[in-house]
Amino acid sequence: MNSKTKFLTFVTVTLTVSSLAISTVVAKAKLTNQSKLFINGIGAVQVGMTVPQAAKAAGTKLVGDSPNNNCYYVKPQNEPKNLSFMVTKGRISRVDVRENAQITTLKGAKIGDTEAQIKSLYPGQIQVTPHKYVQNGHYLTFIPKDRSDRNYRLVFETDGKLVTQFRAGKLPEVEYVEGCS
């Protein structure tokens, strides 16, 4: 083997190994209860994706309301349960987590956490406002400092003591109290 053949063999082997590694990573990206909610998505699903793009990223079929131009919800066909995606103008705009204490934010916040725990996970970045429907309840809204995230929020709903549900997404949809209603 001359040096050119050796080099081409090395490049071919390297590319093959690299593509195998990438496909393994993609296969592991399936949406699960261990997927982390971040300010603009969950796992590999990001705000701004179309429903087909989100389904591919999630590694599962997304089912739900019939599509319309204004606002509707889809959710993973099987797992994770109690996770839904708001779709506005044909794109994912928000992620809602209800009755699923396994899904956490990147910092570990989850349903069942105390208001104090949420404030300590996001020091100086939580805005507290009264809940519209739950007496003594609150909305704890994480407001990011990073300018690139200024149009996104994390909103934790509480009963006045504990987180009952939470959501992430873009403004204004993430702040809609009644979802698509």
* 8-state DSSP, 162: B
pLDDT one-digit tens code per residue, 26-66: 444 689 999 999 999 999 999 999 999 999 999 999 999 88
67 vs 72, higher pLDDT: 72
- Residue 16's pLDDT is 44
- Residue 45's pLDDT is 97
- Residue 80's pLDDT is 95
- Residue 1's pLDDT is 64
Task: Dig out the tokens for 162 from the structure.
Answer: 């504990």
Confidence (pTM): 0.83
pLDDT one-digit tens code per residue, 84-143: 999 999 999 999 999 999 999 999 999 999 999 999 999 999 999 999 999 999 999 999
Cα of first residue to Cα of last residue in the chain, in angstroms, is 70
- Residue 181's pLDDT is 83
- Residue 38's pLDDT is 96
Task: Dig out the tokens for 17 from the structure.
Answer: 């190994």
Q: How many CB atoms lie within 10 A of CB 67?
A: 10
pLDDT score of 146 more than 90: yes
Residue 153's φ and ψ, nearest 5 degrees, are -145, 160
- Residue 15's pLDDT is 45
Q: Can you tell me whether residue 58 is helix, strand or coil?
A: helix
